[in-house]
Each structure stands twice: as C-alpha cells, then as structure tokens.
C-alpha cells in the first residue's frame, strides 16, 4: 500500500495545492475563494515556523480551451498566454496570494514529465488500447456516466454541473486499468478516514467506488490540443491525467529528486466538490500504479452561490473579485468568505451580508477597538505604552480568553481547515476585550490622578494593547495588510521584530509587548463604507 503524506517525516514541507484552473475565461469569486483559503492555510503554517510550499496554476489543454481560443480567433497557446498574464497572475497578486510556484500545463517542465509518467504506466502494462462511446461534457472535460446526467423538459441529457447537453463521444482511446484499483482504494479509505473531507464527500466517494470502477480513457484522438501520447502521437493525453500530474511535475518529479523528496506528496489538496472524483479516486489510483505516495488529504469546498445558482461564467453569475475589493478592500475580502461560509459547505454570497458583517465585526468591533486603545494611550500616557501593575481577576479573564482563542484558532485553521470556526474564535476574543474596556471604563479611571488610579489605568490600557498585539499575530495570515498596520501602530515592529516571524501558536504568551513601546493612532483599519456606485 502506498504511503500517505503524513507518514513522511524529517524535513518535508507542508505542501498545499489549489486546483489548476481552466483559462477559458477570467477568474471569478469561486476561483478566488479556494485560492485565498490555501493562502491563509499556508501563511498560518509558515507563521508556525514550518517549511511550506504553496502551489497554484492553470490548466491549459483540452477541448474546452481549444474551442474558446477558436471562438476568439487566436491559437490556444496565445489565448492561454493572454489570460494567464493579464487576468490570473495579476489577480493573485492583487489578493496578496503568497504562492511559492505557479505552474502552467503548457510548460516544458510539465509536458515532458507527463509523457514520462504515462510511458511508465504503459510499460508496466497499466494502459491498453480500446474504444469508447458515451456521454462527454466539454465544460467538465469529463466522461459522464449515464446515471450522472439530468434530463431537460424535452428529454435532452444534461451535465448536472453545467446544465448543458452532453456530447456523445465515439473514438479510439487508450485506457488506464482503473477498475483494478477499486479494492485498494477502499482499503486505503478505511485505513485513512481523514483522507477525504468533509465526511459527506468521503461517503460519496466510498459509495461510488463500492459500485465498481470502469477503466479510464486516458487519451483523445479527435483533436490535437494536448500533450501527445509518447508511443502514439495520433492521440493526446486526456486533459485530466495531464492536469492531475501538475502536483508532481511542479515539485521535481523525474527531474529534481531532492525537491520531490522534500515536498511530495501534497499534505492538502484544496478542490471544488465538482472535481472530487478526479482527486479522490483517479489521482490516488495513478499514484498507486506508479508506486508513489498518496496525498495526505483531499479537502472539497462547496460552491459559492448567487441567487441560488453556482457561481460560474456559464450561468452568468460570475462576479469579479475586484468588484468587491474596490469597495471593501482586499483584507476584508480575504476575511469575509472564510468567515461567512463554512469551508466544505455551499454558501451564498450577497452584497448586503458582506456590508453588514464588515460594519459590525470589522469596523465596529475590531477597527474601533484598535482606534480607541491607541487614542487612549496617546491621550493619557503621551503615546508611550505604560507598564502593567498587578493584574486582577478581570485581566486574568482576558488572558485566559486569549489562551483559549489561540488554541482554538490554531487547531481549527491549522489542522481542521475550519476557517470559519478559527476566525470566530479570534473575533470572540476581540468582543471580550471590547467588553473588558466597557466594564473597566478607563476614561473614568483616568479622572483619578492618584498613584493607584494611574496604576490601574496603566494596567487596563496595557491589557488592551497586549491583547491587540496577539490579535495582529492571529489575523496576519488572514488580513496581512491591516494586521501590519496594527502591528506598526502598537510599536511592535521596533520592539518585537517582523510580524510574519511571530509564531501564531505562541500568541497567547502574555507580556510580549514591552512597556515603553511607542503607540500611535494610524489610519482607520476599516473605513466607513461609501455607497456603492450604481450602473
């Protein structure tokens, strides 16, 4: 049985991937949702002090890309080049995505290795020649089972994802002996119950495999936009075989053994649930056939819904991320979707919900807390953070609240991929600190100019500022720009060093922000929203 990623010890990087995205059009919110989730996860692990590798990229072969390019009167390669350089890469930069690599399936480092992988399987008698006839969805680039299709009112068979008629495909193909791996996959799922998440996705895959697997067509012979089959150039390699192999080719498969050993397999594949079977059935079977280790986890997020429809270009519900970042800001955008939607479940987006959450949680709870604390340190102590006197029960409650928030956030975000619960734990602590200030009433304590009064005021403001220090550390993977602004406001850069070097798991260690730090009131972290422009 192939080893899982968790069994590889030593210096292996924490390796996270997104799907490689089709470049038939510009990216929309659904693409950005998965990519931001991966960015937050990898930033969190980096801030644990771990070695991390984060991969994203684009899927540039197949019939769908070819037809899109033809419709735009350009070659497929020209179309891919334009979309990648003018739409995909700029968006990831705009959203502060800190990926370590961006792979394109038209790159030679990928195409050569794909041919080698497939040739190896052919030489091992894992691939044979045959014929195929059946339904095919070009949008999914997937051979469909008759039971997967939905029926239109006129009886036409439709793809359940794209709600478009499937094409009946009949051609000569090469096949991978996928059917032989059903028992091995079921044994693997049983031994590794956390391999597929959420549980509903795991149950779907297990039930699918239990029904018996058909051998998989791994080539196409009716068009030529793809990687040639090395022993028969009348065929091109099926785009999904090509695409899945990016996770290996990007980290040195058959090219850089040291890099491959320290990175592969992925610890987490982040995917959309519509491509679950490719990643949880076909991909591990391919790796088993080649004697390579199987990934640690396949985590399927749900669909983003607008007006009850899955977000995609094909149903005209695609929304550009820039439509939202221009109004709410990039950090709020990164925060909102992981805060509002439970990862792994479908979730609905609305402008009204984003506005309400931004105003209540970011501007009023978090941003206002940062502004109030900086203003009071400036007003009562000339901008110099005072030393805390003796902590009382109220301060100890705050410290206990922080410890609980750090433990929960680290477990939920770093291990369970429950971004929503992790963010909520942090913001529950923000609410606790707000409540602490309201109860302690430092503006009233400031009227007591005795030594005891000044000491009490110092303790209250130190407690609030030290709490914000921890919040900046915890929110840095999620909202790096505003976290840095808060870090600078607290004078923490000069006294504690770079924010990104602060371990998230140690954020609850109390007393890190030194007395005497220069606290300044900077720009408002989350400005009041302007009314959106109407078309």
3-state secondary structure of 195: coil
- CA 355, CA 528: separation in Å to the nearest integer? 10
Q: 279 catalytic, yes or no? A: no
- CA 118, CA 243: separation in Å to the nearest integer? 13
How many Cβ atoms sit within 10 Å of the Cβ of residue 145? 12
Does the bond joining 129 to the residue before it have cis omega, within 30 degrees of 0?
A: no
Contacts 24+ apart (CB under 8 A), 196-199: 196/276, 196/280, 196/297, 196/298, 196/300, 197/297, 197/298, 197/299, 197/300, 197/344, 197/417, 198/299, 198/300, 198/344, 198/345
Q: 31 catalytic, yes or no? A: yes
Exactly one of 12, 80, 140, 279 is catalytic; which is it? 140
Exactly one of 45, 80, 110, 159 is catalytic; which is it? 159
Q: 184 catalytic, yes or no? A: no
How many Cβ atoms sit within 10 Å of the Cβ of residue 209? 21
Does the bond joining 198 to the residue before it have cis omega, within 30 degrees of 0?
A: yes
Relative to beta strand 219-220, strand 232-237 is antiparallel
Residue 84 CA to its chain's centroid (Å): 19
How many Cβ atoms sit within 10 Å of the Cβ of residue 288? 18
Q: Are 15 and 99 in contact (CB under 8 A)?
A: no
Name residue 135's beta-bridge partners.
168
Exactly one of 89, 94, 157, 313 is catalytic; which is it? 313
**Dihedrals phi, psi of 218, to nearest 5 degrees:** -120, 15
Exactly one of 82, 94, 157, 162 is catalytic; which is it? 162
Q: 313 catalytic, yes or no? A: yes
**Dihedrals phi, psi of 142, to nearest 5 degrees:** -140, 135
- Tokens representing residue 369 in the block: 């807390």
Q: Are 290 and 123 in contact (CB under 8 A)?
A: no
- CB proximity list for 21: less than 8 A, separation 6 or greater: 27, 31, 56, 57, 58, 59, 88
- Tokens representing residue 150 in the block: 């939905």
For 273-402, list the strands marked E by DSSP.
Answer: 298-301, 304-306, 309-310, 347-348
Exactly one of 80, 137, 144, 269 is catalytic; which is it? 137
- CA 303, CA 306: separation in Å to the nearest integer? 10
Exactly one of 12, 31, 110, 235 is catalytic; which is it? 31
Exactly one of 45, 269, 310, 327 is catalytic; which is it? 310
Task: Show which residues are catalytic.
Answer: 28, 31, 137, 140, 159, 162, 310, 313
């Amino acid at each position: 049985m192939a080893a899982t990623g968790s069994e590889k010890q030593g210096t292996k990087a924490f390796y996270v991937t997104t799907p490689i995205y089709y470049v038939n059009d510009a990216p929309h919110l659904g693409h950005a949702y998965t990519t931001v989730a991966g960015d937050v996860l990898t930033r969190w692990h980096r801030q644990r002090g771990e070695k991390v590798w984060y991969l994203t990229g684009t899927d540039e072969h197949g019939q769908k890309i070819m037809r899109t390019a033809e419709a735009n009167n350009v070659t497929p390669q020209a179309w891919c080049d334009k979309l990648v350089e003018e739409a995909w890469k700029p968006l990831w930069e705009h959203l502060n995505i800190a990926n370590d690599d961006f792979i394109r399936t038209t790159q030679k480092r990928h195409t050569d290795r794909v041919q080698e992988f497939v040739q190896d399987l052919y030489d091992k008698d894992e691939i044979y020649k045959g014929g195929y006839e059946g339904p095919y969805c070009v949008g999914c680039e997937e051979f469909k089972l008759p039971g997967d299709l939905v029926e239109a009112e006129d009886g036409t068979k439709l793809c359940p994802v794209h709600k478009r008629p499937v094409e009946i495909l009949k051609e000569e193909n090469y096949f991978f002996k996928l059917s032989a791996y059903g028992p091995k996959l079921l044994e693997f799922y049983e031994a590794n119950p956390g391999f597929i998440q959420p549980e509903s996705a795991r149950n779907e895959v297990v039930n699918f495999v239990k029904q018996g697997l058909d051998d998989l067509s791994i080539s196409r012979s009716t068009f030529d936009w793809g990687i040639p089959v090395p022993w028969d150039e009348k065929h091109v390699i099926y785009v999904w075989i090509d695409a899945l192999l990016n996770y290996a080719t990007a980290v040195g498969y058959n090219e850089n053994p040291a890099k491959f050993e320290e990175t592969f397999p992925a610890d987490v594949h982040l995917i959309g649930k519509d491509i679950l079977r490719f990643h949880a059935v076909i991909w591990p079977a391919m790796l088993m056939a080649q004697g390579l280790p199987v990934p640690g986890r396949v985590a399927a997020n749900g669909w983003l819904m607008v007006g009850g429809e899955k977000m995609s270009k094909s149903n005209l519900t695609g929304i550009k991320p820039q439509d939202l970042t221009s109004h709410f800001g990039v950090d709020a955008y990164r925060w909102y979707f992981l805060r509002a939607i439970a990862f792994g479940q479908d979730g609905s987006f609305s402008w009204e919900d984003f506005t309400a959450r931004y105003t209540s949680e970011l501007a009023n709870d978090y941003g206002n807390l940062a502004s109030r604390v900086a203003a009071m340190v400036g007003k009562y102590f000339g901008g110099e953070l005072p030393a805390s006197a003796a902590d009382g029960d109220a301060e100890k409650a705050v410290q206990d609240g922080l410890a609980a928030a750090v433990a929960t956030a680290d477990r939920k975000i770093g291990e369970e991929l429950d971004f929503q619960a992790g963010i909520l734990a942090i913001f529950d602590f923000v609410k606790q600190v707000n409540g602490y200030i309201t109860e302690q009433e430092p503006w009233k304590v400031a009227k007591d100019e005795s030594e005891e009064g000044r000491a009490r005021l110092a303790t209250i403001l130190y407690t609030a500022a030290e709490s914000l220090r921890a919040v900046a550390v915890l929110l840095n993977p999620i909202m790096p720009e505003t976290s840095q602004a808060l870090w600078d406001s607290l004078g923490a850069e000069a006294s504690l060093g770079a924010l990104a070097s602060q371990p998230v798991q140690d954020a609850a260690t109390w007393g890190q922000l030194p007395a005497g730090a220069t606290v300044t009131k900077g720009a408002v972290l989350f400005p009041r929203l302007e009314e959106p422009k109407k078309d």
